[in-house]
Every structure is written in structure tokens, then in C-alpha cells.
A and B are shown apart, each in its own frame.
Chain A
């Protein structure tokens, strides 16, 4: 269980997260979505007590992280897979963390086995691929057998087999009643892994709820209609809250209503229909819709030469 209340963090005059309030329930996988720079990692650092909030509070399992008697048993975190001394072996890295909590060495071996690192455990971490580092980060997060897991982009750099593994792992951990909070900017990944979603952009929460709720809240789903008398149908459908566009002659995209309603209207008016198909919005579309105003680092159309103005803007974003 993670509870944030009016959580705000400013770095200088830049507000990284702004009055976030949310609850992450145990027994679920909650996906934390947002474009780059939205404040995901900052939020996770605040939860872990690594950064101090400018205002507001955040607790894990009822207490601020730092006040738990056994922090690693409460929360296991993977914040940055590369945040390991490159000169140390994977096993030594895990042993340093285990030692602080008097966790047995047998547990270190256990998590090494679990994460598939057995073959590389004595090699220096500096030579690890990103995928291997992610596995080590997950091993470190699992070390204390924690009730809550916080994973920042855990599938980044993993091969398909590894992605599959992480997906199964977090589902199993949640099924055991643990709280799993993982961030990603990959929608497709989230739609297959998460039960709940928390979407942020520019430090604000822009949507929260179950995956389906979030999709429904944004894109109610358009209806595609083809009719030889499309113009008349459009006139008949035009009421408050209904948006109609015509991508090509004889075709309408109707949003803000249901396929059933369109069919009934057409029947009443005696208009023939060649096609009537509801289009479900994908999580991808919902996400794009949600975050289009909240993208911190937007890619400009590539031109041969960047103008000074663009350079200036980029510098400002930093």
C-alpha cells in the first residue's frame, strides 16, 4: 500500500511533481505511465525517502519509508539499473545490501537464481548489458522479500524472454497480495501487465483507475459508418456532444455516441448503411490523447539544420 497526499517536489524553480494524491492498493499491479520527464522517477524517489518532498506526504504500508524498522522487508525498489558500482560483482553488490539487514547469504543466492543471473554473478557489473543490469536491479528489489515493490522501467533493455518473465513475476507477486508499482512509458507493455493505471504528465495526475476505465475516460470510442447518404445521416446525428468527421466521401467517424444509437437513427430516417463498426480505442491511443498536452520533450519534425531558436528551447527544457 502506497499513499501519497498532496505530494509536491520542486527542484529550484522547476516543479517536478505537483500536489499528487493517490493510493496504490496491495494485491494489484499498478502501472505508472507518463512521457519522459513527467515526474515518474521523482515520485518513486520521494516514496523511497531518497528525496524530500517540498510539501505533502507519502507513506508505504502506513509509514514514511524511513521509519520502518526493516525497510528492505517493506519495500524493494529498482530505481536505476545502472546505479551499481561497475567494479563490483553482482553477488558482492547484493551481499553489501543484504549485510545491512542481516539477510542471510543463502537469500542472495536465491535471488540470483530467481533472476537468472547465476552464470554472471561473479562477473564485474561494469560489463553487464542493460538487460543484465535490470535483472540485478530486480534481484536487489526482491532481496528482502518485500511487501511492496517499486520498479522504474523494469523491462527497459530486456529481451522478449525477459519481458515475459518480468510480466509473469509482477503478476505473481501481486497475486501473493503484494503491492506492485511499476513505471513505463511503453503502453503496450502496461496493457498486458497492469490492473490499475496512474497516468501523469508534467507532474500532474491526468488519469487514474483500472486500465479499461482510463481508456474509456479518454476515448469513448468512435463509430465508423459508411452510407451512400452520409450527408443526411450526419445531419440526423448532429446533436450535443456528438462529433462527426468525414475522412472520405460516404464515410463518417462519429464519436460521442454508440453504434446502437447510430443504427437506430439510420433506421428511423430510412437511411441505408453499408458499414457500422464501433472502434475500441487502444490504450496507446488513450495515452496519446491523455498526454499530448503534457509531453515535456517533444520531438520536432527533423530538419536539415536546427535553428538557434530550437536549440534555445532545448536548453531550457533541461
Chain B
């Protein structure tokens, strides 16, 4: 060991192609993410939480059916809404994962190795965003599939198993996916801007989950307007089959799509601008 030197220089024909490509940066991010246990914990807990909440919602159907005041409501319900009922909790873990993707690098100093390898920096953020989208999509697919099957016994009793040829079903599942991806990208953008894990997770979770609840006690018109544009209320139109959509406070489907996209894109764009300017 002590007598080893620099070793054989890389003289393979491929040496000429040794340079950063976006596919390479993507692969690097992919290895980074999958080589950490915390990623697997975040993904597994996302799937577990979404599934358990869906199961709990499905099991509470029997309690509803026993209550004469609530029983008629069951007919109004759509099975897909019950299956996607754990979506908020999934948002929590996905948001933490999205923030950690970048704040973890700042906290450990890994970011300097990353930017030394990719000095243009922006491809790193782009690759992280794409990897995060893929991972979020995968975990949403797994969660919804699991939820679909574990809730089936309960839902079938009330004829609520969502039909796979029902556009309403796909609207809810698609809305869940869209909102979770938006939340993940929002956190990534916030994380890149703030760099600190604690600050980023606090901000992301406050905006994503906490504010709508805390502000709902304030009955001022303008506050209610703001609340309707917060991610959770804004996404609600995407998480219903559309029947309950006309309830005033909520945004239209189109507006919801745009607002949620803005939550994903605006912080990321701001992050991309500052990423280049700031010292690593």
C-alpha cells in the first residue's frame, strides 16, 4: 500500500469521453439518493402512512353506517377519495425527503464535492428535481396500489371499490400524484434557497400543511382568499371526483393545476438563479 503511486493513468479509449453529461449527473444523483438509508426510510414511511390512513378511513365506514345522521353520506362518497385519504401524511415525508436532497449536502459539505464535479451547478438541481419526480411517482404508485388492495374488503361492503374505468378514479389518483410531486419540488426549491435542513423543513411543512389549519380560525375575507391558494386547499379540487368542486372557497380544477405548478416552479427557479451566484 505504501509503495503505491498514482497507478496506471487512464489510457482507455473511453478517456476522451470522460466529461460531465446530464445523464451522468442524473446517474450520480440517483446513486446518491439510493445509497442512503434515510431515503429508504422516507419512502417506506410515506407508503406505510398513506396506506394506513386509507385503511383507517375505510374501516371507519362501518361506524358511519351505524350512525343514522352520517349513513346517507356514504352514498355521496367515492372510493378513490378514501384510498387517497392519506395524501396529507404522504406530503409530510415527501417534503422532508425533497428538502434533505439538497440540505443534506450543505450540512455535510458534500455539496463542494458535487459542485467541483459539476461546476455549472444548474444541472445538479435539474437532476435532483427529476430524480425526485421519479421517486415520488414511484412511491405514490406503490402507496395507492397498496391502499387500493387493503381497503378493498371494507369498500366492497358499501359498493365503493373505485372502478378502474371511471374517470373520477383516475382524476383523484392523478391529482394525488400531481400534488405530491408539486410538494416535493417545492421543498427542494426551498431547501436550495435556505440550505439549512431545519429551516427548510420548517418552512416547507408550515406552508404545505400547517398554515391552512391555523389560519382557518380567522374569518376575514382576505385571509380566506389567501388560505384557498395555499397548497393543501388549492390541491383539494384535484383530489375529488369533481362532484364537490363547486363549494365556493376552493379553486377550480384549472386554477388548482396552475397554483400547484407555481408552488413547484417558483422556488426552484429562484433557487436556480441564486445557486450560480452564491459561494458553495
Tell me if chain B binds chain A. yes
The chain A residues found within 8 Å of chain B, CB to CB, are 45, 48-52, 65-66, 68-73, 75, 77, 79-80, 82-89, 92-93, 95-104, 107, 110-111, 113-114, 116, 140, 142, 144-145, 161, 164-165, 168-169, 172-173, 176
Closest to B280 in A: A50
> Which residues of the partner chain A approach B27 to less than 8 Å between Cβ atoms?
99-100
Chain B contact residue count (CB 8 A cutoff): 47
Whether A71 contacts B117 by the Cβ 8 Å rule is yes
Chain B's nearest CB lies how many Å from the CB of A97? 5
Whether A100 contacts B25 by the Cβ 8 Å rule is yes
Whether B277 contacts A52 by the Cβ 8 Å rule is yes
Q: A84-B109, A86-B108 are in contact. Are A70 and B24 (CB under 8 A)?
A: no
> Which residues of the partner chain A approach B277 to less than 8 Å between Cβ atoms?
52
Closest to B108 in A: A85
Separation of A85 and B14 alpha carbons in the complex (Å): 29
Which 10 residue pairs spanning A and B have beta carbons closest together? A83-B109, A66-B119, A92-B35, A70-B19, A99-B28, A51-B279, A116-B1, A172-B5, A99-B27, A50-B280
Q: A48-B116, A52-B279, A87-B38 are in contact. Are A71 and B20 (CB under 8 A)?
A: yes
The chain B residues found within 8 Å of chain A, CB to CB, are 1-10, 12, 14-15, 17-21, 24-25, 27-32, 35-38, 104-105, 108-110, 112-120, 277, 279-280
> Which residues of the partner chain B approach A107 to less than 8 Å between Cβ atoms?
10
Whether A97 contacts B28 by the Cβ 8 Å rule is yes
Closest to A171 in B: B5
> Which residues of the partner chain A approach B29 to less than 8 Å between Cβ atoms?
96
Separation of A8 and B109 alpha carbons in the complex (Å): 23
Chain A's nearest CB lies how many Å from the CB of B9? 5
Separation of A79 and B110 alpha carbons in the complex (Å): 11
User: Within the complex, which residue of B6, B12, B32 is in contact with A142, where a contact is CB–CB below 8 Å?
Assistant: B6
Whether B14 contacts A104 by the Cβ 8 Å rule is yes
Separation of A100 and B110 alpha carbons in the complex (Å): 14
Closest to A89 in B: B35
Chain B's nearest CB lies how many Å from the CB of A240? 50
Whether A87 contacts B2 by the Cβ 8 Å rule is no
> Which residues of the partner chain A approach B25 to less than 8 Å between Cβ atoms?
99-100
Chain A's nearest CB lies how many Å from the CB of B30? 8
Give 16 new A-B contacts, CB below 8 A, not counting A71-B118, A86-B108, A165-B4: A50-B279, A52-B277, A65-B119, A70-B18, A72-B18, A73-B15, A77-B116, A85-B32, A93-B113, A96-B29, A100-B20, A104-B12, A114-B4, A164-B2, A168-B5, A169-B4
Whether A72 contacts B117 by the Cβ 8 Å rule is yes
Whether B7 contacts A102 by the Cβ 8 Å rule is no
> Which residues of the partner chain B approach A49 to less than 8 Å between Cβ atoms?
115-116, 119
> Which residues of the partner chain A approach B8 to less than 8 Å between Cβ atoms?
110
Whether B2 contacts A73 by the Cβ 8 Å rule is no
Q: A80-B112, A100-B117, A101-B20 are in contact. Are A114 and B6 (CB under 8 A)?
A: yes
Separation of A83 and B104 alpha carbons in the complex (Å): 11
Whether A102 contacts B21 by the Cβ 8 Å rule is yes
Separation of A70 and B21 alpha carbons in the complex (Å): 10
Give 12 CB contacts A-B under 8 Å.
A69-B19, A71-B116, A73-B15, A85-B104, A92-B35, A99-B31, A100-B24, A102-B19, A103-B18, A113-B7, A116-B1, A165-B2
Separation of A66 and B10 alpha carbons in the complex (Å): 22
Chain A's nearest CB lies how many Å from the CB of B35? 4
Q: A168-B2, A172-B5 are in contact. Are A79 and B112 (CB under 8 A)?
A: yes
> Which residues of the partner chain A approach B24 to less than 8 Å between Cβ atoms?
99-102
Separation of A114 and B277 alpha carbons in the complex (Å): 36
